[in-house]
Structures are given as C-alpha cells and as structure tokens.
Amino acid sequence: MFPISDIAPSPPRFPIMMWLLIVANVFVFIRELTAPNADMFINHFALIPAHVNFNDYVTLIPFITAIFLHGGFLHILSNMWFLYIFGDNVEGALGSIPFLLLFLIAGIAGNLFQYAISPASTVPMLGASGAIAGVLGCYYVLFPHAKVKTLIFLFFFVTIVDLAAPIMLGYWFILQIISGAGSLNASDLNQGGVAFFAHIAGFIIGMLAGRIVKKITEVSNEN
C-alpha cells in the first residue's frame, strides 16, 4: 500500500517546519551526491554501530546526523513523500518546535533501538525513516477519523481506495514488526537492509507523543 494523500482537516497554519525538514534532507542528499568521496562522507556521518563508544561523545553524533542521510533516490523520495503526506497535520496539532523535537527524538530513539539490536554491525545506518515513523505514530493517535487515499497493489490488480488512517498506518506498523522479527537472523543483521527496529521505535515514540498531546488538549478543554 502506498499513500497518495490524506483526507483530514487542513492544519491551522502553514507547516513551515515540515518544509524546512524536507529542504534539509534534500540539501544533505545533494551533498552526498556531490561529495568528492561519497564513501568517506557516509562513513563520517552515518551511524556505524561498531564505532559507537559511549565514553566518546564524538561517536554519538551520528545518532543525529544519520537521520538526514539517505541511501538513494528511492529512499529519500519515499521518506519525504510520507513526511509530506502526514507531517502537515501533525505539525498543525503540535506546533513547529514540538514537531521538530518529535522528529529528532523519534529518529534518535529509532537509531538507538536499531543499534541495540546489532551493536557490533559495521554496516552504516542512515535515513529519516525512524523520525518519520514518529510522525506516523503521532498521526495514528491524533487523527483516528482521517482517511488516506491509498494506492494498493494486488499482484496484477491496482486500485485506489480511501482507507481509514488507523488501518493503513496500523497495517504498516504490524508489517514492520513482522519484518523486524524475520530479520533477527544474525547474518541478516550483519548484511544490512531496512532498519525495521528503527521504524518500530520511532512509531511508538510518535504514539506516546500523540497521547500526551491528546491528554493535554482534553484537560485544556475541560478547563
């Protein structure tokens, strides 16, 4: 399933932070493509679990910088599309600075969880997927009645349907859990691939953030 657009109330303000994050990711990707030595650029800014030393803060910086790196055009296009589809409403509900904090915290938490699964891996970890999973998790909680216009592929059959956001995002989350469990084979972890556990952790952080915002809103309305 691939989201085309969401059907939800328009956010109360222009999503400036969402667009700034998209621009930042695209800018860094261009720097990747134009770097004199792409491998050196990736090895310097990506998160390589085996290089992490919690007694040396320099080795911890990639937990943040890796969020803004991507492994190819499809990687960044898909990530930025999901951020574009779901980010404006979440930023509208949270505010620009809290939205930025959600993005960064979910991204860092995702990287930490993926690191914990394979701390000895020498494969670079990179991508905003964990951060964007945080946005998806927050959307899942805050917009339970929204619908997502979704492109669905069933073998040779392709159709577009309006799915309830919790169904579409819930399906995505369950798929990450199943795929993550299937990737726990040591050889699979050492060979790299999709960081399913970063997605899982990011989504959970987003759900927690959404529940906090929902609770604050309910208390505020009561008063």
pLDDT at 223: 65
- What DSSP string describes 149-213? EEEEEETTEEEEEEEEHHHHHHHHHHHHHHHHHHT-SHHHHHH----HHHHHHHHHHHHHHHHHH
Determine the angle formed by the axes of helices 73-94 and 196-222, rounding to 10 degrees. 10
pLDDT at 190: 57
Q: Are 63 and 112 in contact (CB under 8 A)?
A: yes
pLDDT tens per residue, the chain (223 residues)?
889 999 888 888 899 999 999 999 999 999 999 999 989 999 999 999 999 999 999 999 999 999 999 989 999 999 999 999 999 999 999 999 999 999 999 999 999 999 999 899 899 999 999 999 999 999 999 999 999 999 888 878 889 999 999 999 999 999 999 988 877 765 555 555 678 899 999 999 999 999 999 998 888 776 6
Q: Residue 118: CB partners within 8 Å, gap ≥ 6?
A: 49, 189, 190
Q: Residue 66: CB partners within 8 Å, gap ≥ 6?
A: 45, 46, 47, 111, 124, 125, 126, 127
Q: Are 165 and 97 in contact (CB under 8 A)?
A: no
| Predicted model pTM | 0.90
Q: How far is CA 37 from CA 58, 76, 109, 207, in A?
A: 21, 20, 29, 39
Q: Which residue has the tokens 């991508």?
A: 127
Long-range contacts of 26-34 (CB under 8 A, 24+ apart): 26/76, 26/80, 28/68, 28/69, 28/70, 29/69, 29/70, 29/76, 32/69, 32/70
The burial class, CB within 10 Å (0-12 / 13-18 / 19+), for 51 is middle
Q: How far apart are CA 164 and CA 140, in angstroms?
A: 10
The CA angle 223-10-199, to the nearest 5 degrees, is 90
Buried b (16+ CB within 10 A) or exposed e, 183-194: beeeeebeeeee
